[in-house]
Structure 1
Amino acid sequence: MEFALPRKKTTQPHEDYGFFGPGSVTWKVWSYPTSLSIGFQRAVVIEELDPALVAAVDQTHDIYKRPRTRYDRTLKYFALVAFGGSRETSQAADVLVKIHSKAIGTDPYSGAPYDANDPASQLWIHLTAWHSILYAYEKYGPGRLSAEDEAQYWQECAVAAELQTCSPADVPRTREGVQAYFDAMRPQLSGSEIARRAMNHLLRAEVMLPKLPFFLRPVTWIADRSLRAGTIATMPLWMREMSGLRQSRIVDALIPLWLKLAFRVVHLNRRAELLVVQLLSPMTFPVLRPIFLGVPPLRREVVSPEEARTRYGYDKPAEAHQDLRAKQHARVFSQGTAPSNIGLLESEEILGRLG
């Protein structure tokens, strides 16, 4: 891959501002380099404490078989929700329902069935992501949002929930409400063997980073250790104990000093920041490029997910692809065969190659 400083005149604009736009708190928070690094890593690591989710992850083994590709595709979806045009993001949300239709089965520990499209599972993923992105921004970035901005952030979080199978009505609108949600989830979480293995694997940033020339490998080593320490430092002690993660108080105290400085330096130059994105996640690069370079969309409008579905002909995620989901359930639970890969194959054009 060749790298050159991205230029405005060669940048492909988005079709519109998507669901948030330049006046949103989402753009303010998610465009800081803490979001798609520490924030993203924290989200995918903590998610594994949900028994149903980690059972689905362990079933496919994709995080072990193709960690870099999975990282790249997932990061692109995160970026599309925050910054993408309404058409391409709606299409990605629709195909995600198809992808999740194959992530069904039986939890090997509880014996209970799991379904990645289950609204409760989707709410857990959604809130963990938005909370982690904000947490990283406040801990390693500019600091805590104002009360007004925070209220807007959680309102925008509810808008983004319309792209999942969960209900926006279930999304808390305050920091206290989000904390109450996690408190309610805590008894349902489990640091099982497969959860601990997945969490430790996802904390290894090196497995998701591209191979660098030999003389640059110390950079990979530093980035890996820094991201791991920074992510663990954001996790409450009960969560660390549940997942078997250990880190000294000294590291907890020192890592913010280093990471705040590092993220501030990266954020000084948007073009340089984009080069980092291009290196770490080539599939995400075209989503962020027009935003970071200030290239306006073809239509300077913000639309709602409902307006986009009506405009482009998509169903609500909770109601989408019922026939496919029924067929997948029949294959797995009635016939005892593997689910179809139709959603994964279709997603390659939208989210990027599987590898």
Structure 2
Amino acid sequence: MSHHNDVVPHEDYGFFGPDSVSWKVFGYPTAMSIGFQRTVVTEMYEPFLLASVKDTGAVSKRPLLRYERTLQYMATVAFGDSASVLKASEILVKIHSKITGTEPISGLRYDANDPEAQLWIHLTAWHSVLYTYEKFGPGKLAPDEEDRYWAECARAAQFQTINLEDVPRSRAEMRAYYARMRPILAATETTQEHIEQLLDGADTVLPDSVLLWPVAKFMQAVFREATISTLPQWMRKMGGVRQSPVTGALATLTLRAYFRLIAQSVEAQRFLFRVASPLTYPVVDPILCGVPPKDPTVWTPEEARAHYGKLTPAEQYDRIRAARADESLPEHAAVDDSRALLAFN
């Protein structure tokens, strides 16, 4: 039993729970830091997603807000209780329903709820979190754990407008997915600008303190170089980022030691979440502190939707498209996400 009396427990274990591989991987300090940074950098190479990000100004105009909301969503799916996850999923579809427009290179329409776009976002996250766990954390999972990880990745995909048959179920299938996507990926000047900003993302989230400034700048540089070291050479070249092997190796060694140290202290992890992401902190705090939920149930998405009377994201998306057919939409609708749309707790 935890001695943390100040921690607010979740209602239930959500969709994974303490016996899941997801909790093991997402609960390690690499996931919500370097894993998250690699995720958002990699996402930018998909032209239709980039067009939506540029049109909404989510990265360029409101980087801290986008960082917090995206991290909060990722943590909620992994660790939140069933009601919170379903609510987050529902809100995400509603927000994305307002994000449509034209991709400038092809002239084709983009839709943030498009199943292919959502699959790219989902898989870059789950792959990046696992890859950085292996590279900067404890190392590779056992084969049976890895099989379970990809099965849980498919379960988490049910909270987005994703065709489940398209979700990889193994590392080999994940490689095949990247091979299929590579000819589609591209980098324009806008891509490179966004990648540069995201690689320096630590500057956005670290405290603006004169005393901490040297530490913050050092960690920003280390995280930048470590993230670049995880990208394949073709992706670095496309994104306009360069790195010497020595720089990448030094950043990797530094972060391995850092994460090993942080992983040994629950209080250090709690402090970092409080400082870096106040919205995510209440989601992860009960898990960090080992505080059990009020109800120890682990749900399936089907059971939870039946219990709460919720539509699937695909059903929501079908209704949105049907409604669009009855009205004239502007070329794109930038979302005003200045309000706490994703403040689930």
Query: What TM-score results when the alignment is normalised by the length of structure 2?
Result: 0.95
Secondary structure of the residue aligned to 1:38 is helix
Going from structure 1 to structure 2, the CA distance change for 1:184 and 1:324 (only over 3 Å counts) comes to closer
User: Partner residue of 1:64?
Assistant: 60
Q: What letter is aligned with 2:237?
A: E
Residue 339 (structure 1) shift:
3.1
Secondary structure of the residue aligned to 1:214 is coil
User: Partner residue of 2:37?
Assistant: 41
Cα distance in structure 2, aligned partners of 1:344 and 1:320: 24
Indicate yes or no: 2:297 matched with 1:301.
Answer: yes
Q: What letter is aligned with 1:55?
A: A
Q: What letter is aligned with 2:138?
A: P
Going from structure 1 to structure 2, the CA distance change for 1:258 and 1:210 (only over 3 Å counts) comes to closer
Q: What letter is aligned with 2:344?
A: I
Indicate yes or no: 2:72 matched with 1:76.
Answer: yes
Going from structure 1 to structure 2, the CA distance change for 1:59 and 1:11 (only over 3 Å counts) comes to same
Residue 206 (structure 1) shift:
3.5
User: Partner residue of 2:307?
Assistant: 311
Superposed CA deviations along residues 147-189 of structure 1, whole A, max 9, x for unmatched, are 0110010000000000110022211111111001001100000
Indicate yes or no: 2:135 matched with 1:139.
Answer: yes
Indicate yes or no: 2:344 matched with 1:350.
Answer: yes
Cα distance in structure 1, aligned partners of 2:202 and 2:290: 31
User: Partner residue of 1:266?
Assistant: 262
Indicate yes or no: 2:145 matched with 1:152.
Answer: no
User: Partner residue of 1:90?
Assistant: 86
Residue 327 (structure 1) shift:
5.1
Q: Between Structure 1 and Structure 2, how many residues are aligned? A: 344
Conservation of the 8 A alpha-carbon contact between 1:205 and 1:223: no
| Percentage of identical aligned residues | 46
Superposed CA deviations along residues 209-262 of structure 1, whole A, max 9, x for unmatched, are 143320111111011111111110000001111111111111122221111000
Secondary structure of the residue aligned to 1:117 is coil
Conservation of the 8 A alpha-carbon contact between 1:79 and 1:287: yes
User: Partner residue of 1:114?
Assistant: 110
Cα distance in structure 1, aligned partners of 2:330 and 2:165: 36
Residue 340 (structure 1) shift:
7.6
Superposed CA deviations along residues 101-154 of structure 1, whole A, max 9, x for unmatched, are 111100011101001100011111111100000000000000011101100100
Residue 294 (structure 1) shift:
0.6
Structure 1: gaps of 5 or more residues: 1-5
User: Partner residue of 1:99?
Assistant: 95
Residue 208 (structure 1) shift:
2.3
Conservation of the 8 A alpha-carbon contact between 1:151 and 1:174: yes
Of residues 194, 197, 214, the one that matches 2:193 is 197
User: Partner residue of 1:336?
Assistant: 330
- Report the RMSD for the aligned CA atoms in angstroms: 2.0
Conservation of the 8 A alpha-carbon contact between 1:104 and 1:329: no
Conservation of the 8 A alpha-carbon contact between 1:67 and 1:207: no
Cα distance in structure 1, aligned partners of 2:285 and 2:241: 36
Secondary structure of the residue aligned to 1:20 is coil
Query: What TM-score results when the alignment is normalised by the length of structure 1?
Result: 0.92
Q: What letter is aligned with 2:295?
A: R
Secondary structure of the residue aligned to 1:105 is strand
Of residues 240, 245, 252, the one that matches 2:241 is 245
Of residues 230, 236, 245, the one that matches 1:234 is 230
Q: What letter is aligned with 1:112?
A: L
Conservation of the 8 A alpha-carbon contact between 1:328 and 1:340: no
User: Partner residue of 2:175?
Assistant: 179
1:44-55 to 2 correspondences below 5 Å: 44-55=40-51
Conservation of the 8 A alpha-carbon contact between 1:56 and 1:104: yes
Cα distance in structure 2, aligned partners of 1:185 and 1:208: 30
Conservation of the 8 A alpha-carbon contact between 2:161 and 2:317: no
Conservation of the 8 A alpha-carbon contact between 2:270 and 2:285: yes
Secondary structure of the residue aligned to 2:138 is coil
Conservation of the 8 A alpha-carbon contact between 1:29 and 1:134: yes
Residue 19 (structure 1) shift:
0.5
